[in-house]
Chain A
């Protein structure tokens, strides 16, 4: 059970406090409710580029990093299709430094041209390092476009193409900031060796006078139900053929989420999972195979991917995957197999909760989903999943008309 207190400031900023006096550190986590899904299709990659610019100086503080490091702190941030999260950890005595820095960049950035110019290049190098200069690095550009026709999940967080990042203008940066980086669009979590009373005072002092701004109302086109199988084949300069297939699944708050998560564990989690045992170990068709889902806020994807053993045909590999899916659709999983994936989930949660940093970001993410208290009921929701839930949901998900298949051929 993770305990926390919650209050709001007049400008709409939500603040959550998680006291843990066993650590000498404090964590300040600021989550903004904006991700790549809020971008326009002609300016993709912007939410992530913007994350870099948040370190380029704010209206009263020329450098974010220097004062934090001087106070003994470390920080980082990440952007997803759904959200942007900034976190720092520092000795608890110096917590006010984090309030000063985070509040000033929520008040306003410096909008430095030099920072934009440099970070455009840095992000282009990040794009190259992870998506171009890497075998199979382009797969999810293609798969997302295949699976999503209207929802902005059709592009990746890094963006559709380098030119979108290269063309970013300082006007875009300003507009984005005042549209999305307002207190009412943010969640502040403070955790560690601090008290709620202390956080109340500091939050009021540093964040209280930031103008509320206009509340951003999200209105995204939802993906219509897919009615026919979609297939794509590509050839690239890679050494091995690879197989990718994904299916649409429910949203993060959908009641089927827990069964769906357990299905991916049954099929692809670890050395005793079904796909690994059948297709890597017994049939020797794949040299590796994985099954996972994206955990996205809106309706997401469940994927299976693997590299083929040299000489195996993609058609045969796909057929063997289908046989495993037929099995989970037609036959009930055993009590002990279901128990296994529930036990794995229980222990994954326990290990994740060990670090105060993880607890802080979990609180922020669950608050974004609607209520931080949700994190304390997760385990019981997994425990409630039944054998027939798994079978019923497998039949709904693994419908060929709901599938997107990519054959990735080696040249």
Chain B
């Protein structure tokens, strides 16, 4: 009979020796770098074309996002409908996404259809036409969607907190508006497309059970395009932080609202900073997983919220440390107070060994699980490569988890968890 009062023996995951499967790298005739992870049992592929065409490079708000969105809404030989139908006929998913520095086209498909799909992706990169009526419809529907989102306190809070951290003109701080949509002109899209896609800088990330001829296929369709010839414009974007740091900001968005969106955030350096990896451990302990201090106190003890999280923003140039939750309208202030209490505890009291071991084991188990499968592995590599890091970043992050001490955590808490250095926003 099992003794249920004693936990079964475990191997502490902190002792694991974790490895990041190396990528295979090839270069197309025109210099496009292709990073590939060949793994997995299913006959499926994920191919991602990453362009340096994020909002970092636009001259006017919404140009990068609109260009990216309309890539698949018409080419010289196909309508938006025909393009969608082509990918859908082969059961493929063609997505695009616009971020700050980069924008992407992502294809997920069964291996057996790849040769029907690549030529059309090529067409999107060489021959998109940005039809006027597609742009008009895009503006109308996005303005409508925006009007719905602006009713949500979390959406509004996310916009404001980024603005405080980076400034309304910075790529990380600016946001959409009806006026910004209205101001977008077709010629601007065509010019942006020509510079940042057709003649832009592109990197390819491939993962799945990779067919032997894939590289030849990629070279055939993308290896002779006029990409990667020109240097990218520098794009100087000074950060302009708002002056209301350290004092409570309360905004009213919906008089009938029953919850408030709480955002507490401070500027934080990027991944190249020597504290970044250690702070990832401190963040996990503080608010980065279900067993964190914030979750245990504010959800599991007080019941103020369905969930509370903290994280370091995923930016290349400069990050921010963010605490977010939606809490009952009456308990928002109490929630903020508890967040600061948890900061204080971390500053003043050493984390005990038992709790630290739990956090370390959890992080290691979580990374082990996340290294499972080709799409996850290429995702890690993409992050490393786009942030101009190398594999030592991965191994250093493992080392940070394994070796960090309670004293180091306390030191970091004193350095970074000071309420007066945080923006504190509640939107109801």
Q: Which residue of A lies closest to B146 (CB)?
A: A239
Looking at A269-277, A319-327, A368-376, A389-397, the stretch in contact with chain B turns out to be A269-277
A-B pairs, top 3 by smallest CB distance, nearest first, are: A72-B365, A121-B303, A271-B84
Asked if B81 and A281 sit within 8 Å, CB to CB, the answer is: yes
Can you report 9 A-B residue pairs in the complex whose CB atoms are below 8 A from each other?
A59-B4, A69-B290, A71-B365, A72-B364, A90-B365, A120-B303, A123-B306, A347-B110, A351-B42
A interface residues (Cβ-Cβ under 8 A, vs B)? 22-25, 59-61, 65-67, 69-74, 89-91, 93-94, 96-97, 99-100, 103-104, 107, 117-126, 128-129, 132-136, 205-206, 209, 237-240, 269-272, 277, 280-281, 284, 287-288, 307, 309-310, 336, 339-340, 343-348, 350-351, 353-356
Neighbouring A residues of B92 by C-beta, 8 Å: 347
Q: How far is the CA of A209 from the CA of B365 in the complex (A)?
A: 30
The yes or no answer to B258 lying at the interface (CB within 8 A) is yes
Asked if B148 and A271 sit within 8 Å, CB to CB, the answer is: no
Q: How far is the CA of A97 from the CA of B365 in the complex (A)?
A: 13
Q: How far is the CA of A109 from the CA of B401 in the complex (A)?
A: 34
Asked if B109 and A74 sit within 8 Å, CB to CB, the answer is: no
Asked if B258 and A133 sit within 8 Å, CB to CB, the answer is: yes
Asked if A74 and B306 sit within 8 Å, CB to CB, the answer is: no
**A347 touches which one: B1, B109, B257 (CB < 8 A)?**
B109
The yes or no answer to B233 lying at the interface (CB within 8 A) is no
Neighbouring A residues of B368 by C-beta, 8 Å: 24-25, 72, 91
Neighbouring B residues of A356 by C-beta, 8 Å: 372
Neighbouring B residues of A129 by C-beta, 8 Å: 259, 306, 326
**B327 touches which one: A71, A125, A277 (CB < 8 A)?**
A125
The yes or no answer to B5 lying at the interface (CB within 8 A) is yes
Asked if B299 and A122 sit within 8 Å, CB to CB, the answer is: yes
**B258 touches which one: A123, A132, A339 (CB < 8 A)?**
A132
Asked if A339 and B89 sit within 8 Å, CB to CB, the answer is: yes
The yes or no answer to B184 lying at the interface (CB within 8 A) is no
The bracket for how many chain B residues form the interface is 35 or more
**B304 touches which one: A24, A121, A206, A354 (CB < 8 A)?**
A121
From residue A326, how far is it (CB to closest CB) to chain B in Å?
21
Please name 6 further chain A to chain B contacts, defined as beta carbons within 8 Å, in addition to the given A61-B4, A284-B137, A354-B375, sorted by A numbering: A60-B4, A65-B290, A66-B291, A74-B289, A74-B362, A91-B365
Asked if A270 and B258 sit within 8 Å, CB to CB, the answer is: no
Complex interface residues of chain B between 33 and 47 (CB less than 8 A to chain A): 40-44
From residue A401, how far is it (CB to closest CB) to chain B in Å?
33
The yes or no answer to B353 lying at the interface (CB within 8 A) is no
Q: How far is the CA of A18 from the CA of B336 in the complex (A)?
A: 46
The yes or no answer to B10 lying at the interface (CB within 8 A) is yes
**A71 touches which one: B10, B85, B108, B326 (CB < 8 A)?**
B10
Asked if A22 and B291 sit within 8 Å, CB to CB, the answer is: no
Question: Would A344 and B91 be within 8 Å (CB), given that A71-B13, A281-B80, A350-B110 are in contact?
Answer: yes
Neighbouring B residues of A238 by C-beta, 8 Å: 148, 151
Q: How far is the CA of A205 from the CA of B299 in the complex (A)?
A: 34
The yes or no answer to B235 lying at the interface (CB within 8 A) is no
Asked if B147 and A240 sit within 8 Å, CB to CB, the answer is: yes
Q: How far is the CA of A381 from the CA of B372 in the complex (A)?
A: 31
Neighbouring B residues of A67 by C-beta, 8 Å: 7
Asked if A97 and B11 sit within 8 Å, CB to CB, the answer is: no
Q: How far is the CA of A123 from the CA of B72 in the complex (A)?
A: 41
Q: Which residue of A lies closest to B151 (CB)?
A: A135
- Could you say which of B5, B85, B91, B152 has the most chain A C-beta atoms within 10 Å of its C-beta? B91
Asked if B152 and A134 sit within 8 Å, CB to CB, the answer is: yes
The yes or no answer to B373 lying at the interface (CB within 8 A) is yes
From residue A77, how far is it (CB to closest CB) to chain B in Å?
12
Asked if B373 and A125 sit within 8 Å, CB to CB, the answer is: no
Complex interface residues of chain B between 325 and 375 (CB less than 8 A to chain A): 326-328, 357-359, 361-362, 364-366, 368-369, 372-373, 375
